[in-house]
Chains A and B, each alone.
Chain A
Amino acid sequence: DIVMTQSPDSLAVSLGERATVNCKSSQSVFYSSNNKNFLAWYQQKPGQPPKLLIYWASTRESGVPDRFSGSGSGTDFTLTISSLQTEDVAVYYCQQYYSTPLTFGGGTKVEIK
């Protein structure tokens, strides 16, 4: 099984500042046949289901603000919120879809400092 490890568990960032969430997979999720990383990011606000933000590690879902970006390859990935807004307070999860069982990171709680 591919284990997804997120860091930090939580972080507090001032409004307008950058927030960075890290995700590491226990084995590579890069598929050479299509040159893509099989990794997605989700945002979950309290009392709501998760919402897809990014897939293929760096492709932003339609309608997602461009302050959200994903980067990385192989085993190390990052979700960056370039300028934190009040509505970005949430828990963020990475997830690999390279192989079953499909697995999620433990989540990172982002709050306002």
Chain B
Amino acid sequence: EVHLVESGGGLVKPGGSLRLSCVVSGFTFSNAWMTWVRQAPGKGLEWVGHIKSETDGGTTDYAAPVKDRFIISRDDSKNTLSLEMNSLKTEDTAVYYCTPEIPWFDPWGQGTLVTVSS
């Protein structure tokens, strides 16, 4: 059975940084493209970005609102996906989900809440 467990969320001040992790099991992580999706409180889903498998180049793409502030990386030896978030803004407040990109998203982790507030 596939499991994805996000962690690292919390309260951070505007301008601060935070690093999220997503540990996966139940599938061959190294072969998977992985995505981060976020959901602001009471709002819809927003794609944050993804990282391709190393076989496909290991490159990343980002949504415009987070480009140049967020960095997605992966450690295939630890089945772990990471999201480094810098220069955080109040509008980055959201639950952050990790999910394999099949190319659709399935399954999803339970998410981790990031709150950016002074």
Contacts and interface: CB of A to CB of B under 8 A. Distances in A.
B103 interface: yes
Nearest to A56: B104
Contacts of B27: none
Interface string A98-113: 0011111111000000
Interface in A75-101: 93, 95, 97, 100-101
Interface in A18-52: 38, 40, 42, 44, 49-52
Given A97-B103, A101-B63, A101-B64, A51 B44 contact: no
Contacts of A55: 102, 104, 106
Contacts of B107: 49, 51-52
B44 A93 contact: yes
Contacts of B62: 101
B81 to A, nearest CB: 15
Contacts of A101: 47, 61-64
Contacts of B111: 49
A104 B63 contact: no
Contacts of B63: 101
A93 B35 contact: no
A95 B104 contact: yes
Interface residues of B, number: 22
A49 B64 contact: no
A61 B106 contact: yes
Q: How large is the interface on A (under 10, 10 to 19, 20 to 34, 35 or more residues)?
A: 20 to 34
B97 A49 contact: yes
Nearest to B64: A101
Contacts of B110: 49
Contacts of A61: 106
Interface in B54-108: 61-64, 97, 101-108
B31 to A, nearest CB: 18
A52 B50 CA distance: 18
Given A97-B104, A102-B35, A104-B46, 18 more contacts: A40-B104, A42-B45, A42-B105, A44-B45, A49-B108, A51-B108, A52-B104, A52-B107, A55-B106, A93-B44, A95-B45, A100-B61, A101-B61, A101-B63, A102-B101, A104-B44, A104-B47, A107-B44
